[in-house]
Amino acid sequence: MSLIKFIELNQRGDERGYLTVIEAQNNIPFNIKRVYFLTSLSPDLPRGFHAHKELEQLAVCLVGSCKVMLDNGKVKEWVTLDSPSKALRIEPRIWHEMHDFSKDCVFLVVASDFYDETDYIRDYQLFLEQAKQ
């Protein structure tokens, strides 16, 4: 099964523009405790390079585009995010990296829990060892 799992967000559009909703336990499968977003990104400065132990996240490129690499310790898969209606699931224990941000990229993340550095696995060798268990 692919590591790339999208949730399609329904865009309510009319002549005034689009309204797109992310609603906890309705069109996404977890409660939202935190929202953060990345702006003023550089094409040559990738981000991420970690996995989470428990955290569930969804990533949406609201403006522009970027490439995301997901890795479960066995396979790596790449996907381009370039639509505000496509939310990419970043599940626990998936190493993720964001690359090739367009200059205008606005990258939104909704998360199932508060920021907790102890939930991070930032060492790739440790991630690989834990992925084998």
Cβ closest to ligand TYD, residue 48 vs residue 84:
48
Q: Is 52 a catalytic residue?
A: no
Q: How many CA atoms lie within 13 A of 74 on its CB side?
A: 6
Q: Does 37 bind ligand TYD (CB under 6 A)?
A: no
The only residue of 39, 115, 126, 129 in contact with ligand TYD, by rule CB under 6 A: 115
Nearer to ligand TYD, 10 or 80 (CB): 80
Contact 37, 109 (CB under 8 A): yes
Which one-letter amino acid corresponds to residue 38?
L
Q: Would you count residue 47 as binding ligand TYD (CB under 6 A)?
A: yes
What is the 3 state secondary structure string of 46-84?
A: CEEEEEECCCCEEEEEEECCEEEEEECCCCEEEEEECCC
* Residues between 51 and 110 that touch ligand TYD (CB under 6 A): none
Q: What are phi and psi of 105, to 5 degrees?
A: -60, 130
- Catalytic one of 50, 52, 96, 99: 50
Binding site for ligand TYD (CB under 6 A): 34, 36, 47-48, 115
Active site residues: 50
